[in-house]
Each structure stands twice: as structure tokens, then as C-alpha cells.
Amino acid sequence: MDIESTLLRLANSKFRASFHLKRDDIEYIKTKGWDTIQAHCYDFITKRLAPAVIDNDGKQTPTHGHPVFKAQHACACCCRGCLSKWHKIKKGIIISNNEIKEIVELLMTWMHKEFDSFKETGSKKATKSIKSNKPIQLKLFS
């Protein structure tokens, strides 16, 4: 799987691109750390997606409550139907360890991108307000 081109493909889908990490997800990642998030990611994929037969397939991934859930919807790794449609991973057979690794890598890359862009927007705003204060102060002193 080519992660970057897959992410581009997903970004072109209005539905997939509508999922974003919110402040509580960002806080959760900060509190838990990336290693734990990746461990959760492996756990979810292994238990909820990898088996050949899944009783609630199509409904096993909530839309919020964990950053990995959002990543799964954004990356079309939410159920076996989406995995087969988007990533050519066949339904009805166990997902291989290699494929699990690739899915986790895709989800982690998406979350890292979301995390970084979330931080950037926060700091950009802060820099702007500092800059716009400066000329006012200078005028007061001149």
C-alpha cells in the first residue's frame, strides 16, 4: 500500500474527508502518547476487523469516542465492506499480519497529520495576535 497516494485518494472523497480529530482527541493522544495509541490501533484492527467472520460487520466502528475510530472512518478502514472497496482486502478471510501492519501505518499517518495540522492552526493564531499587538505598542511610545 502506498500511504501517501491512498491518503490523497481518501481526501478526494467528501465523506472520508469530513472526519477530523477534535480537541478532545488531541488531548487524549497527548495524555496517552503515540505508543499507546498505536497499541490501541493494533488491538482494534486485530479484534474488530481481522477475523474472517464478524457478527456486526459494518457497525463495529463508532464515529467518535477514540481518535482511532475517526481515523478508521477517514481512511475507509471501518469495516470489511470499506476495506474491500477501498483497499482491495477481500471479505470473508482473515486479514494477514502484513495487511494489519499496513492498515495501522495508514491510520497512524492520518492521525499524525491531523495532530500536526491541529497544533499549527493553534500556534499560528497565537503568533498573529502577538504580531498585531506590536505596532500598537510602538505607536503609543512614539
Q: How far is the CB of 52 from Zn ion (least distance, A)?
A: 17
**Cα-to-chain-centroid distance, residue 112:** 7
Q: Cβ distance 7 to 13 under 8 Å?
A: no
Q: What b/e sequence results for 89-105 when a residue is b if at least 16 CB atoms lie within 10 Å of its CB, and e otherwise? A: beeeeebeeebbebbbe
The nearer residue to Zn ion, 30 or 59, going by C-beta atoms, is 59
- Window contacting Zn ion (CB under 5 A); options: 11-19, 76-84, 87-95, 115-123: 76-84
- Window contacting Zn ion (CB under 5 A); options: 6-14, 44-52, 70-78, 121-129: 70-78
Using CB under 5 A as the binding rule, whether residue 78 contacts Zn ion is answered as: yes
Using CB under 5 A as the binding rule, whether residue 75 contacts Zn ion is answered as: no
The nearer residue to Zn ion, 79 or 95, going by C-beta atoms, is 79
Take residue 135 and report the three cell numbers written for it: 505596532
Helix (H) or strand (E) holding 13: none
The widest CA-to-CA distance across the chain, in whole angstroms, is 75
C-beta nearest to Zn ion: residue: 82
Question: How far is the C-alpha of 48 from the C-alpha of 78, rounded, in Å?
Answer: 9
Using CB under 5 A as the binding rule, whether residue 74 contacts Zn ion is answered as: no
Using CB under 5 A as the binding rule, whether residue 82 contacts Zn ion is answered as: yes
Q: Cβ distance 62 to 68 under 8 Å?
A: no
The nearer residue to Zn ion, 92 or 135, going by C-beta atoms, is 92
Take residue 39 and report the three cell numbers written for it: 497499541
The nearer residue to Zn ion, 78 or 106, going by C-beta atoms, is 78
Q: How far is the CB of 81 from Zn ion (least distance, A)?
A: 5
Contacts to Zn ion by CB under 5 A: 78-79, 82
